[in-house]
Amino acid sequence: MCNHEPLKKLLEILIELKASMRDTAEPGINKAIEDAIKQIQELLKQDNGKMTTEQQALGLLGNLFSKLPSIAALINLLSGD
C-alpha cells in the first residue's frame, strides 16, 4: 500500500491553481490543469507501488509545466539555467 499524501497534496495544489487561474489563463492552460487533476485522481485510485506512482506524478508535472511557459521560465531562473 502506498502513502498517497504527496499526491493528495499535489492534487490540492492543482485544484487551487485552477481556481486562481480560472478567469485569467488561456483555455489550453485550463485544459492542461484539468487533465493533470484527472490523471492525479486516477493515480490515487491505483496502487502500483510507490516508485511507479511517483514517477507518473513527476511526468504529469513535467507535462503541465511545459504548457505553462511562465512557470517554466521562473523555474529556469531559480535554478540558474
CB 50 within 8 A of CB 2: yes
**CA–CA distance from 48 to each of 5, 19, 34, 59 (Å)?**
15, 30, 23, 15
CA distance 3 to 31: 28
- Write down the pLDDT at residue 73: 66
Domain total in the chain = 1
- What's this model's pTM, rounded to 2 decimal places? 0.65
pLDDT tens digits for range 42-53 = 888 876 656 566
Range of the domain at 36: 5-79
pLDDT tens digits for range 17-74 = 888 877 777 777 788 888 889 988 888 887 665 656 677 777 887 777 777 776 666 6
- Write down the pLDDT at residue 3: 66
CA distance 77 to 48: 35
